[in-house]
Chains A and B, each alone.
Chain A
């Protein structure tokens, strides 16, 4: 991307002097990716830290031409994604999305205002944890695709690079993931309404 150019030039010629700028510019998005993939803030912070450390070491090995050709957003997202995947792989036996600790979809406080639209709901804190909980129930491939596209805002071409899949495949994964989330959200809402009228 064009707006990467000054930073890439700086990274290529003075990695130590410019690396902090890279961290400042990408820490929120990479932390958001990790948090939404892993669900646990402590884990997400560690995964994000590891992402930057890997990036720093890789940049130290790359020659200036290679750094100049990098697309920072998808490149960093790929590193974060791989680190999150290996963390999920390590902890799977201890903690799955169905464990007692994990928030179950729809397991939220009863809403006082049942008429609020989803966009409004999404702005409130409860809704954030609600949607975050739903996201964690998605199969990993869909979760990664949705997080990178709609939480992080990568374009489809960038997503194809980050996920190392054809653009058509990642598009289908994103659409399927969004559809699954919508269904899960509606089911949770239905359950809630039934509980309130029961």
Chain B
């Protein structure tokens, strides 16, 4: 039995096949025209994380998949495809970031948001693990000292909570305040997981204390600044206002820049 070139050609055209169903979503996500999503176990319960080739674009409390896909499409105009699980690199990066490792890079896709919102969120990214700053501090730091309320609104619209740590931004009177990811109790438990004592912070705030200085260095800080936490109790000097601290010969800490929270107040 002989084989002809035509037989070979027929055999070759039979080698044409169909692409795996995962291909198109992967392509569209890579160029940022669609998103992939997966569930993620966090200290405050199951979350949904969505991402694309540009970065992570959504972190939110897990809903049922259909509801998430529908609301995601409405909000972003992009289809979200269930990826089953987070890519290992992203899962590791998120876990390390939640443990306070700021060196790990997580790209974010914040398209479709205003410059102001992005400024607010980038500033929030600078707040170290285990520390908090008032809304007014962010407003002053981004050069919009009068926009305290708008800062609060922008933080409420943070599409990537936990990664952009809006839980580290508190009310200007020192109260912990609202949280977009499932309410204020979640905010308190995340802060507790970062080693802070929300009840303690609020009781200090209620007593009118806004700043803490050291009588050895004569530097004044926001109460949760890592430098302030190192002050021994016998050298700890509480202040109700920065004016009083300055009058007593204290200079402001260059790390937590407590002046920013006053400028906006």
Closest CB of chain A to B107's CB: distance in Å?
A: 16
**What are the 7 A-B residue pairs with the smallest beta carbon separation, nearest first?**
A150-B12, A31-B19, A122-B11, A118-B7, A27-B19, A52-B27, A56-B31
Of the A-B pairs whose beta carbons lie under 8 Å apart in the complex, a sample of 26, sorted by A's number, is A19-B33, A24-B24, A27-B23, A27-B27, A28-B17, A29-B16, A31-B19, A31-B23, A35-B17, A36-B15, A45-B20, A52-B27, A118-B10, A119-B11, A121-B11, A127-B11, A131-B12, A135-B15, A150-B9, A150-B13, A151-B15, A152-B16, A178-B5, A181-B11, A185-B8, A186-B3
Given A20-B33, A29-B16, A31-B17: A118 and B26 interface contact (C-beta under 8 Å):
no
CB-CB under 8 A from B28, the residues of chain A are 19-20, 23
| A-B contacts besides A36-B15, A45-B23, A135-B15, 10 pairs, CB < 8 Å | A20-B33, A23-B23, A23-B27, A45-B22, A117-B7, A118-B4, A131-B12, A132-B15, A175-B5, A189-B3
The complex places the Cα of A122 from the Cα of B4 at a distance, in Å, of: 13
Complexed CA–CA distance, A22 and B114 (Å)? 31
B166-203 vs A, CB cutoff 8 Å, 1 = contact: the mask equals 00000000000000000000000000000000000000
In the complex, number of A-B residue pairs with CB atoms less than 8 Å apart: 117
A182 within 8 A of B: yes
Checking B10, B12, B16, B26 against A28 with a beta-carbon cut-off of 8 angstroms, the contacting residue is B16
Separation in Å of the B102 CB from the closest CB of chain A?
30
Cβ-based interface call for A153 (8 A): yes
Q: Once the chains are docked, how many angstroms separate the CA of A57 from the CA of B31? A: 8
Contact of B15 among A32, A185, A186 (CB under 8 A): A32
A102 at the interface (CB under 8 A from B): no
The CA-CA distance from A56 to B9 in the complex, in Å, is: 32
**B-to-A contact residues, CB < 8 Å:** 1-5, 7-20, 22-24, 26-28, 30-31, 33, 53
Given A53-B31, A182-B3: A48 in contact with B16 (beta carbons within 8 A): no
B68 to chain A, nearest CB (A): 21
Residues of chain B lying within 8 A (CB to CB) of residue A123: 14
Task: Identify the A interface with B (CB < 8 A).
Answer: 16, 19-20, 23-24, 27-32, 35-36, 41, 45, 48-49, 52-53, 56-57, 117-119, 121-123, 127-128, 131-132, 135, 146-147, 150-153, 175, 178-179, 181-182, 185-186, 189
Q: Which residue of A lies closest to B18 (CB)?
A: A28
Taking the closest CB of chain B, its distance from the CB of A198, in whole angstroms, is 19
- Given A16-B33, A179-B5, also A32-B23 (CB < 8 A): no
